[in-house]
Structure 1
Amino acid sequence: MPLLHNRINNEELKQRLLAETEPRTTISFYHYFQVENPLEFRNELYKHLDVLQVFGRIYIAKEGINAQVSVPAGNYEAFKAYLYSIAPLNGLRLNIAVDDDGKSFWVLKIKVRDKIVADGIDAPSFNMYQKGKYVNAQQMNTLLKDTNTVVIDMRNHYEYEVGHFENALEIPSDTFREQLPMAVNMMKGNEDKNIIMYCTGGIRCEKASAYMLHKGFKNVFHLEGGIINYAQQVKQEGLDSRFIGKNFVFDNRLGERITDDVIAKCHQCGKPADTHTNCKNDGCHLLFIQCEECATQYDGCCSTECQTVYNMPLEEQKQLRAGIDKGMMVFNKAKVRLRPRLGE
């Protein structure tokens, strides 16, 4: 079966996006369900979404779908109607971005994967559909007041660093497959606690809640729709936000503000800052936090070494990075690389 995909170069697509006058809405959604033929489903999805000018990233696997997309405002209802016409996706919750200009994506990419969330689970008895109980924003806030509640953040370090729920436990690993058994070990002896798992949009914490139940825990919950849905509900219902700071997102924004609190620090000077950026040196692209002053001082680079390379003629830069995977650090997960003072 031929793979349907875009054939226009990225730069032209970016320029087309910037020239658009119609506003776009950024949406994320996922659903665990049985996909019999992922490639066939992928191509059918691409054919319909391309017509609606949907941009973004979608992953398809036998276990379901995971998507982050932007949709022209005028096509939103048609987009929603098409998704809901797919029986397993009828009534699917669509998470609307909190802080968004609609310019996050400029091309539609739909990929087939082994799993929509790599988990390392190989136990035949594991059942994804036996998962924890959903909690909404109000229920989350109520449970957080209970001293018998433990809140576990199922995201990476660089996500946790800029924003998290009050008193949430960070699992010290930046791969989901490692975090699952670590969460079980951390909770041993606390089997009687209310355990709430949360993540950005719900996909990781839903699987994590099923894994905790699989491992014998009883009172397991997960935040419905993740931080994105929580923030929307807090705003709509006038609730106090128990999530503080920014919610890291995996698109060009690299974050959406939930509260005014700045709980992280610039990795170069140590001043309060929570703006993630990628090093401007194309041979590095390290993901790190940089304040405005350091962005000016270091030309958007993570170190003086990278700044030197960044200011070289383009041909010299290309020679230096020959054979280097220039994109390997865009979402770098090595906590040790996020040093307190990268510029020194």
Structure 2
Amino acid sequence: MALHNRVSAAELKKKLALETFKRVTVSFYQYAKIEDPQAFRDQLYASLFQLNVFGRIYVAHEGINAQISVPENNFDAFRDTLYAISFLHGIRLNVAVDDDGKSFFVLKIKVREKIVADGIDDPTFDMANRGQYVDAKHFNELTDDPDTVIVDMRNHYEFEVGHFEGAIEVPSDTFRDQLPMAVDMLKDQKDKNIIMYCTGGIRCEKASAYMLHNGFKNVFHLEGGIIEYTNKARQQGLPLKFKGKNFVFDDRLGERISEDIISQCHQCGAPCDTHTNCLNDGCHLLFIQCESCARQYEGCCSDACKEVNRLPEEERASLRKGVEKGLMFNKSRRRRK
């Protein structure tokens, strides 16, 4: 069998829309030593393809990072497939909080240098020396202490639409930039309890190890990230300390955690937390857009992109050549109109 998809995106999306069964969006990761990432990748692709699993998975010598969509009727077989792999046996599976089952439409498994791009090149850095896990109950207890520092290890556009009460933002577009920034921002608070969190746990776990590597003492990281925290807090009837929406890196672009809307439309300033990509294929800027501005700008980030998007496809294709796209709205950039 082919170990890569060969069907067009349009056809795959059409096929997904016609599915009559329910899908479950799941994420998981594991730091582990993988001797031959390519061979592991190929074997995993063959197994998951047979189970009709969609999603995005990164494999590296340091482990695996996955965000996927599994047919509900194949979920037990999927879990058994993972648990049959020694370093994934019993692994926690983070089930999405707010799921429409349409998060992915194709399976992509890629071999990367690292499962999280961190910029760390210090050979003495060791992921085995990482912070202490905290579950939802312990997290709430620790954060009731005013001397506890809560650190958000996600990107600025994730923090903007939702975060824990009192959390510190490390304002950056990339995790590799955040790590040294976090060390510098907290250098005078090394003796405090520091809790780091992220979406599913993978970034804050590495961040906790990096903080310990740089001389911090009482470092914790939220087990399973925001996703696991929300599920457990709801199951156990705990106060939910996360406000707003949890940004996710799939077609949903977010899952509702609380009804609070803490961000604004990037075009008109109205309360809004709906992320979208500019419909101009030569731009694809990720930004927040309310329904009114979506109508006014026809799903685009600016009048200029709206006009380009009205052009015939041949002209648009010509304009796209050599253009860098896939950017994100940044506080340092001016609002585009």
User: By the TM > 0.5 criterion, same fold?
Assistant: yes
Structure 1 moving runs of 4+ over 3 Å: none
Letter in 1 for 2:307: T
1:72 CA drift (Å): 0.4
Partner of 2:173: 174
Q: Which residue of 2 aligns with 1:73?
A: 72
Q: Work out the CA distance in 2 between the residues paired with 1:88 and 1:333.
A: 38
Cα distance change, pair 191–119 in 1 and its aligned pair in 2 (3 A) = same
Cα pair distance change 1:333/1:270, threshold 3 Å:
closer
1:334 deviation in Å? Answer: 4.4
User: How many residues of Structure 1 are paired with residues of Structure 2 in the alignment?
Assistant: 337
Specify the alignment match of 2:243 in structure 1.
Answer: 244
Q: TM-score, normalised to structure 1's length?
A: 0.95
Query: 2:287, 2:329 within 8 Å by CA — same for their partners in 1?
Result: no
CA distance in 2, matches of 1:105, 1:192: 43
Alignment gaps of 5+ in structure 1? none
Match of 2:153 in 1: 154
Pick aligned residue for 2:336 from 317, 332, 342: 342
Q: Does 1:223 align with 2:207?
A: no
Contact conserved, 1:117 with 1:204, CA < 8 A, in 2?
yes
Match in the other structure for 1:266: 265
**Distance (Å, rounded) in 1 between the aligned partners of 2:71 and 2:18:** 13
Question: Is the partner of 2:122 in helix, strand or coil?
Answer: coil
Paired residue type of 1:130: N
SS at match of 1:99: coil
Q: Deviations over 1:108-141 (max 9, x none)?
A: 1000000000111111111101110000111111
Query: How has the CA–CA distance of structure 1 residues 43 and 138 changed in structure 2, closer, same or farther, with 3 Å as cutoff?
Result: same
Q: Distance in 1 between matches of 2:319 and 2:211?
A: 47
Cα pair 2:157 2:330 within 8 Å, conserved = no
1:92 aligns with 91
Q: Which amino acid aligns with 2:219?
A: V
8 A Cα contact 1:132 1:222, kept in partner? yes
- The residue type paired with residue 215 of structure 1 is N
Match among 328, 331, 335 for residue 332 of structure 1? 328
* C-alpha distance after superposition, 1:227-272 (max 9, x if no partner): 0111111111111111100000000010000000000000000010
Supply the distance in 2 between the matched residues of 1:133 and 1:81 (Cα, whole angstroms): 28
Deviations 1:70-119 (A, max 9, x none): 00000000000110010110110000001111111111100000000011
Measure the CA separation in 2 of the matches of 1:181 and 1:222: 17
Q: Which amino acid aligns with 1:267?
A: H
Q: What SS does the aligned partner of 1:228 have?
A: helix
Matched residue type, 2:153: M
Shift of 1:333: 6.8
Return the letter of the residue paired with 1:53: N
Residue in structure 1 matched with residue 57 of structure 2 by the alignment: 58
Q: How many Å separate the matches in 1 of 2:219 and 2:80?
A: 33
Q: Which residue of 2 aligns with 1:212?
A: 211
CA distance in 2, matches of 1:85, 1:242: 36
Alignment partners' CA distance in 2, 1:172 and 1:166: 17
* Partners of 2:246 and 2:255 within 8 A in 1: yes
Contact 1:60 1:111 in 2 (8 A): yes
Is the contact between residue 151 and residue 168 of structure 1 (CA under 8 Å) also seen in structure 2? yes
- Residue 336 of structure 1 aligns to a residue whose secondary structure is coil
Greater CA drift, 24-33 or 173-182: 173-182
What is the rounded CA distance, in whole Å, between the counterparts of 2:155 and 2:332 in structure 1? 13
Distance 2:323 2:158 in 1: 26
What CA distance in whole angstroms lies between the structure 1 residues aligned with 2:323 and 2:272?
Answer: 30
Q: Percent identity?
A: 64
In 1, distance between residues paired with 2:184 and 2:2?
43
Secondary structure (helix, strand or coil) at the match of 2:28 reads strand
Change (3 A) 1:273 1:248: same
For 2:169, the aligned partner's letter is: E
Give me the whole-angstrom Cα distance separating, in 1, the residues matched to 2:317 and 2:177.
Answer: 36
Q: Is the 8 A contact 1:59 1:110 kept in 2?
A: yes
Aligned to 1:140: 139
Deviations 1:193-237, CA, capped at 9 Å, x for gaps: 000000000000000000111111110000000001111111111
State the distance in 1 between where 2:289 and 2:268 align: 8
- Counterpart for residue 163 of structure 1: 162
Shift of 1:332: 2.6
* Correspondence for 2:129: 130
Contact residue 174 and residue 333 of structure 1 kept, 8 A: no
Q: For residue 32 of structure 1, what is the aligned residue in structure 2?
A: 31
State the 1:318 CA deviation: 2.0
Q: Output the amino acid matched with 1:319.
A: S
Alignment partner, residue 300 of structure 1 = 299
CA gap of 1:216–1:3, structure 2 versus 1, over 3 A, is: farther
User: What is the CA–CA distance in structure 1 between the aligned matches of 2:262 and 2:328, rounded to whole Å?
Assistant: 21
Asked if residue 254 in structure 1 is aligned to residue 250 in structure 2, the reply is: no
61 and 137 in structure 1: CA distance in 2 versus 1, 3 angstrom threshold: same
